[in-house]
Structure 1
Amino acid sequence: MQSGDDVRTSLWVGPGPACDRVPRIPGSKSLTNRALLLAALARGRSSISGWLDADDTRLMVAALRALDVSITGGDDPGQPLQIDGRGGPLRCDHAPTLQVGTAGTVARFLLAAVAASPGVFVLDGSARMRERPMGGLVAALRDRGAVLTALERADALPLRSGPHPAALRGGTIVLERPASSQFVSALAFAGLLADAPLEIVLREGTPARPYVDMTLAVIRSFGGEARWSAADRILVTPTVLTAMPYRVEPDASAATYFLAQAAIYGGSCRIDALGHDSLQGDAAFVHVLGRMGAQVEQRGDVTVLHGGAALQGGTFALDDMPDTALTLAVVALFARGPTHITGVGVLRHHESDRLAAAACELRKLGAGVEVFDDGLRITPPSARPEQPVAIDTYDDHRMAMAFSLAGAVEIRDPACVAKTFPGYFDELARLGVPVQRTPG
């Protein structure tokens, strides 16, 4: 596991003030990339407002443009993107190599889309993305007739898609528990382009089911037919999608850092346009902080947290919101008693092995940490280190943002937050958190 020892610049981040916060949260990465792909498949021009401008979404935009999808706008902050959809499968006169970087959504979603499209395409990504699971998705697409060839390691990037002898077949795909909910979402996208309805059977459920619910909801927003037909199966009907204006919600995962800061240091945090009506499962994380002792109010489109009360540890199953686990792991440093996080084994296969990485950095801060297959048990330190602790971020945006909450820490490789929240540290500073650049 790589660390940030070679990083030449770092940021020192101090404790948060006890103040009233109304942070500016960027658009949801998950919703942005879903909307971009669906707009590309739709007939007509779609407008996407509130979109996230960050590395992961720019990778999706670049890949779609490489597939001859016209995407304009977005040059100024707040300006919508305009996407001229293809009205069906993606087509290209040449055989492009689509670079997905470290973006799992781009890799999985685009693989499914090109596997259901004519032509030959190659997908490749970063060294870490080449290590991340793809096999279950590859096998499912091959079962429906897609021709997918691994160019180096079996069932891993880089992969060549096509030429396919015929359209992707509908029918039934049976999955054991997939390595990622993105596999299920990707198959739902592929089902829109199949030659007959596609049923996805999940024998052992899926990690992070709210992300699958989100996918089905966004598909329906573009006029598609995709629904849970039973507790363990999804039915997708091939559909020509309809272009539309789509508004992206603020990113609920990003909001967790500001909510947690208020829970730890006091004051309040208000998140506008994000409440219990959100499509994002991570919007429910505020109730985890409520169980720990924070005062929480959540309505349809707003979330408010008042901190200052003593926080209590406990056991928290985060199966439906694994991206919040690192936030909770750092909050656990400030709780009374141990905090046991369960249901997040999927984190071993993200930008870093997040369970191992978090354990290493929490121990630097004096915590006792036990690592399990599906989570962590964290015992808060009896005393904090006297000197600022240097936190390695493992080229992982969530490690950098979560550990910035610890206070009096040096965050190495802070630029990794550009993956989903380029202005994160600027926003901390705007809200009164001490942030200073230091030489590496």
Structure 2
Amino acid sequence: MTAVAIPGSKSITARALFLAAAADGVTTLVRPLRSDDTEGFAEGLVRLGYRVGRTPDAWQVDGRPQGPSATEADVYCRDGATTARFLPTLVAAGHGTYRFDASPQMRRRPLLPLTRALRDLGVDLRHEEAEGHHPLTVRAAGVEGGEVVLDAGQSSQYLTALLLLGPLTRTGLRIRVTDLVSVPYVEITIAMMRAFGVEVERDGDVFVVPPGGYRATTYAIEPDASTSSYFFAAAAVTPGGEVTVPGLGAGALQGDLGFVDVLRRMGAEVSVGPDATTVRGTGELRGLTVNMRDISDTMPTLAAIAPFASGPVRIEDVANTRVKECDRLEACAENLRRLGVEVSTGPDWIEIRPGVASGNGNGNGNAAEIKSYGDHRIVMSFAVTGLRVLGISFDDPGCVRKTFPGFHEAFAGLRGRLL
């Protein structure tokens, strides 16, 4: 058995930082992810006047239910979508003037559905340049609450931001959602709010959040399931290869653990225990058609191993991956074509035919430089392809620092144990 230590979940760490900042008291976050995104979130909180104490194994946050202690601040959100969407929502419940900007990559990513919802709730939020994009300024005076309609068809983070805001409003929130992707991420949010003392009610497309604030707690961050997908995929494409991720089992919050069910359908052996998950390669990968709407962050992982399947792999209902760090559908298609693979794409789907040393495991194939588009998930996904195709390189290997600064070293160590 090859056990792999995966860093903490980015999604959970970001939510935990928001909750800790909003809670009444001091919260300790155990084993948080330390990466460019989460460090950027923590530094954003510090600029807003929150105290964040950081050690290698735990972070402590002094919560301020009344909002930031700084009445003016300029926050740079880097590449972090959670930072860029959650922090402007957090400060809306306070009192002051707060400006937010982000990297060119993050400036291109959409924000308008959340912006509209916050404005409907009476928040004075203004975009300085392109409407619905950073930079923006929030002139905060607290949020009364009430009912709001939200389109979360591009990103579930819009709904998560409003859910997290709900207990900080004076009367609570009633959120009606007209469209929603990545439902498991919303379930993470609701479970974590419960751990901080708030119960969210859901009736179909309506979410009801009571006022009253959060209570501080000690919260342990589980390993990142999206990051784990690369290591599970590595086992699946290696006959007899086996990878176990401790700390990520049947009780995991993250829906992206469902990626192992896709690997099981393709022929890998999968065991999900109470406290760990194991994937073993059988030497067989079958083609399939799969809807990945709810686990779309793992779409590139599947695309990167699809050429090794015995039949076509078709991934459907992933239109939202076009507005991530890059257009991931086209990024995967272009890089696969560079490797000589036949690929077709549509508005919300990609179909990949077998190719690139399919089934022989001898490392032959059409080596190429992978174009990363600055997207950590493209690099980490095609690192798995590199287990079967010699000579793969990346134009920007360092972009993995966004979520896993030590990825290349960890993956090289796994490669040595699998091959």
TM-score, shorter chain, exceeding 0.5: yes
Is 135-144 or 424-433 further displaced after alignment?
424-433
2:123 match: 146
TM-score normalised over the length of structure 2: 0.94
**1:322-361 to 2 correspondences below 5 Å:** 322-361=296-335
Q: Does 1:70 align with 2:45?
A: no
CA distance in 1, matches of 2:323, 2:251: 29
SS in 2 for 1:312: coil
1:264 match: 237
Over the matched positions of the two proteins, sequence identity in percent amounts to 39
**1:36-435 to 2 correspondences below 5 Å:** 36-74=17-55, 76=56, 79-93=57-71, 95-164=72-141, 167-204=142-179, 206-228=180-202, 230-266=203-239, 267-381=241-355, 386=365, 388-407=367-386, 408=390, 409-433=392-416
Asked if the contact 2:339–2:367 (Cα under 8 Å) also holds between the matched residues in 1, the reply is no
Asked if the contact 1:366–1:380 (Cα under 8 Å) also holds between the matched residues in 2, the reply is no
CA distance in 2, matches of 1:198, 1:386: 55
SS in 1 for 2:380: helix
Deviation at 1:410, TM superposition (A): 1.1
Asked if the contact 1:281–1:320 (Cα under 8 Å) also holds between the matched residues in 2, the reply is yes
Q: Pairwise CA RMSD of aligned residues?
A: 1.6
TM-score normalised over the length of structure 1: 0.90
CA distance in 2, matches of 1:88, 1:226: 21
1:3 match: none
Asked if the contact 1:199–1:233 (Cα under 8 Å) also holds between the matched residues in 2, the reply is yes
C-alpha spacing 1:82/1:176, structure 2 compared with 1 (3 Å): closer
For each residue in 1:76-116, what CA deviation from the matched residue of structure 2 results, as whole angstroms up to 9, or x when unmatched? 3xx211111113323314x2111111111111111211122
CA distance in 2, matches of 1:40, 1:47: 11
C-alpha spacing 1:196/1:338, structure 2 compared with 1 (3 Å): same
Asked if the contact 1:137–1:183 (Cα under 8 Å) also holds between the matched residues in 2, the reply is yes
C-alpha spacing 1:432/1:177, structure 2 compared with 1 (3 Å): closer
Deviation at 1:177, TM superposition (A): 4.3
Deviation at 1:302, TM superposition (A): 1.3
CA distance in 2, matches of 1:90, 1:359: 44
CA distance in 2, matches of 1:30, 1:383: 35
Gapped regions of structure 1 (runs ≥ 5)? 1-19, 435-440
Deviation at 1:433, TM superposition (A): 3.9
For residue 336 of structure 1, what is the amino acid of its counterpart? S
Asked if the contact 1:276–1:284 (Cα under 8 Å) also holds between the matched residues in 2, the reply is no
SS in 2 for 1:199: strand
For residue 421 of structure 1, what is the amino acid of its counterpart? F
CA distance in 2, matches of 1:163, 1:141: 11
CA distance in 1, matches of 2:60, 2:369: 42
SS in 2 for 1:86: coil
Is 254-263 or 171-180 further displaced after alignment?
171-180
Which 4+ stretches in 1 moved above 3 angstroms?
Answer: 382-387
Q: How many residues align?
A: 408
CA distance in 2, matches of 1:172, 1:178: 19
SS in 2 for 1:120: strand
CA distance in 1, matches of 2:283, 2:66: 54
